Amino acid sequence: MTPLAFEELYENEWAELETLLELLAGGRFGAPAPGEPESAARAAALYRRACEQLALARARAYPAYIVDRLERVTATAHRLIYHRREIDFARLRRFVAAAFPAAVRKHAAYVAVAAAVFLVPTIALGLAVYRSPELILSIVGPETVSGFEQMYSPTAASIGRTRDASTDWVMFAYYIRNNIGVAFQCFAGGLFAGIGSLFFLAYNGAFGGAVAGYLTARGLSSTFFPFVSTHSAFELTAIVLSGAAGLRIGRALFAPRDRTRVQALIEATRDAAVLLYGVSAMLVVAAAIEAFWSSAGWLPPSVKFGVAAACWTAVLCYFALQGTHAD
Amino acid sequence: MPTRSSSRPEDLLSSPDVLDTIIVAETPEGILLELRPAGLTARLYAFILDWIVRLAIIYAAAMLASFVGGLGIAFWILLLFALEWLYPVVFELLPSGSTPGKVAFGLKVVMDDGLPVTPAAALTRNVLRAADFLPFLYGFGVASMLSRRDSKRLGDIAAATLVVHHVPAAARIAPLDVPPVVPAKLLAPEDQAAVIALAARAPRLTPERLDELAALAAAVSGDAGGTGPQVTRRVLGVAQWFLGRRA
């Protein structure tokens, strides 16, 4: 069969498929167009035929424009047919109700290592700086130290002052940008065989511990701990989880087992993405609490500690228990 | 341009002489989709353009925020965060699969199998930018892109994504006003395709170059050794015949 005869024979099918694909692609974000199921079935049938015709056209070395047209139309159809629509409400609900806590439990070993790497420097530096406060200068500069002291000074009334609403919003935005940046760093560091994640976890742990130890030694614990106790339930766990996600990809590179290194990395990244979604959501919650609740100085510390205990319990129970019956 | 001397792209790819960086993705139907990975230069241009766009937005928003005050600043910081981390993710998830910079340079992000990028892949490839960026100015990312045939940066490797060129459609072969000529010898399909490809290119070649190329194929019309416009017309006539035109 000559190229022109081939083209003439199938021209109608190709034109129909092209029209159908345009129609289907157009209705992707709205409600399904009337008659969409039928046209989708028709398009799928035509797509399979076009695949055969493409194979024929290639095998017979038909001119480029014919092969090209078939490639184009099959590629478009392939995209439409196999495209996964991942974002919808049911999926989101399933994510919160089951997928996220299940992913955390599945990576329990990584979470444990990440938590240890984060907490050991926190406690060690906390104790060391509490005993000899001048050690803090080896971690942060003097301006930062005096900044922290001012922030948590009960006399300066900065924390006790009822801030106006817009300041709360500014801090909310600042916390989101800052904390999600830190979490993403902890994750991305995993690409260097996990060493980057370990470093950022330990660094952030050491920093937090040193600040806590210093402020306690300076007698400011009565403003510091009520402030950090509630949002830390979300913030610290999120940082640890992002570090765990980083360790997951680090481990895949370091010890890929029966996969090639790249294949192991791709699988690990797909797993880690679930953790990353959850981490981002937790950090938004943490930023909201930090900006609007933790800073509310008129609340007595006992109330804040009570809420903090409830949040910590809720977060830990969520990861330990949520969705276990579905496993 | 889009000439194909072989019917099977995978044969072409396995040949060490071929400089093409075409990547072949196989669909469940067993057909092969060709993807053309974009190299460092094209992606750099797109990145710079995106960077300028983001900078312009941030400056414009900063001016507005300074009028509004408190809440305006909060909004501005959130915008800064969104432009930093979410800008590429959101644009890559749109049907076009590309940020404004990539659109301008005809690039798009797809999965390794040619499908549109998934939300998980779009997020991870962009979060892993933080690793590509190290030690400075995307050092690791650039090193990775230069050392790989498919020009992936680290984030692309991990997320199994690919930045590809949008390929313009091949020109339809205009029916030249040359009468079909019966070929002087039988040709294999690949050789017929080469003659047809010459006819497809004819409108874009200078007459002199066309004559030179046609002279190489002159044997098909029985004019072996001949050259000149007459021979060229006969060779193009054979191409018409191969296409299926008959007198």
Q: Are B7 and A59 in contact (CB under 8 A)?
A: yes
Query: Most A CBs within 10 Å: which of B77, B126, B195, as the mutation test of the A interface?
Result: B77
Average pLDDT, stretch B139-166? 92
Q: What tokens appear for B64 in the block?
A: 């507005």
Q: Are A194 and A173 members of one domain?
A: yes
User: Is A54 inside any structural domain?
Assistant: yes
Any idea which residue has 């021979």 for tokens?
B231
Task: Give the burial string for A112-136 (b: 16+ CB within 10 Å, else e).
Answer: ebbbebbbebbeebbebbbeebebb
Does B7 contact chain A (CB < 8 Å)?
yes
Bridge partner residues of B110 (DSSP): B116, B162
CB spacing of B77 vs A174 below 8 angstroms: yes
Those of residues 179-198 in B touching chain A at CB distance below 8 A are: 189-190, 192-193, 196-197
CB spacing of A180 vs B81 below 8 angstroms: yes
Q: Are A147 and A273 members of one domain?
A: yes
CB spacing of A3 vs B119 below 8 angstroms: no
> A192 to chain B: which residues are within 8 Å by CB?
131
Q: Are A193 and A65 members of one domain?
A: no
Bridge partner residues of B24 (DSSP): B34
Based on the structure, what is the number of domains in chain A?
2
Cα distances from B44 to residues A207, B49, B82, B141, B206, in angstroms, run: 36, 9, 21, 11, 34
Those of residues 152-181 in A touching chain B at CB distance below 8 A are: 164-167, 169-170, 172-174, 176-177, 180-181
Average pLDDT, stretch B240-246? 84
Q: Are A50 and A96 members of one domain?
A: no
Single residue among A63, A82, A101 that ends a domain in this structure: A82
Nearest by CB: A191 against B73, B118, B158: B158
Give the integer Cα–Cα distance in Å for B141 and B152: 8
Q: Are A62 and A135 members of one domain?
A: no
What pLDDT band is residue B3 in, cutting at 50, 70 and 90? very low
Q: Are A318 and A170 members of one domain?
A: yes
Q: Are A97 and A70 members of one domain?
A: no
> B157 to chain A: which residues are within 8 Å by CB?
262, 265-266
Q: Are A316 and A184 members of one domain?
A: yes
User: Is A87 inside any structural domain?
Assistant: no
Nearest by CB: B7 against A51, A59, A164: A59
Single residue among A27, A47, A82 that ends a domain in this structure: A82
User: Is A67 inside any structural domain?
Assistant: yes
User: Which residue does chain B place closest to A182, by CA atoms?
Assistant: B130
- Give Cβ neighbours of residue B116 (< 8 Å, ≥ 6 apart): A79, A83, B95, B97, B110
User: Is A103 inside any structural domain?
Assistant: yes
- Give Cβ neighbours of residue B193 (< 8 Å, ≥ 6 apart): A61, A62, A63, B3, B4, B5
Q: Are A11 and A46 members of one domain?
A: yes
Torsion sign (Cα): A88, A93, A95, A99: negative
Task: Give the burial string for A98-108 (b: 16+ CB within 10 Å, else e).
Answer: bbbbbbbbebe
Phi then psi for residue A256, to 5 deg, are: -75, -5
Long-range contact set of residues B172-175: C-beta below 8 Å, sequence gap at least 24: B172/A65, B173/A63, B173/A65, B173/B199, B173/B200, B173/B243, B174/B203, B175/B240, B175/B245
Does B78 contact chain A (CB < 8 Å)?
yes
Give the integer Cα–Cα distance in Å for A184 and A279: 9
Q: Are A248 and B124 in contact (CB under 8 A)?
A: no
Q: Are A54 and A166 members of one domain?
A: no
Q: What is the pTM of this model?
A: 0.82
Q: Are A29 and A152 members of one domain?
A: no
Domain that holds residue A188: 92-326
- Give Cβ neighbours of residue B43 (< 8 Å, ≥ 6 apart): B107, B145, B151, B163
Q: Are A223 and A153 in contact (CB under 8 A)?
A: yes
pLDDT digit string (tens) for chain A, length 327 residues = 888 889 889 989 999 998 888 887 765 544 555 566 777 888 889 999 999 999 898 888 888 888 888 988 888 888 888 876 656 778 888 888 888 999 999 999 999 999 999 999 999 999 999 998 888 888 788 888 887 777 777 665 445 444 566 777 888 888 888 888 899 999 999 999 899 999 999 999 999 999 899 989 888 888 888 888 888 999 999 999 999 999 999 999 999 989 999 999 999 999 999 999 999 999 989 988 888 888 777 788 888 899 999 999 999 999 998 888 754
Those of residues 152-171 in B touching chain A at CB distance below 8 A are: 154, 157-160, 169-171
Q: Are A258 and A225 members of one domain?
A: yes
User: Which residue does chain A place closest to B242, by CA atoms?
Assistant: A2
Q: Over the stretch A141-188, which tens digit does the pLDDT of each residue have? A: 888 888 777 777 766 544 544 456 677 788 888 888 888 889 999 999
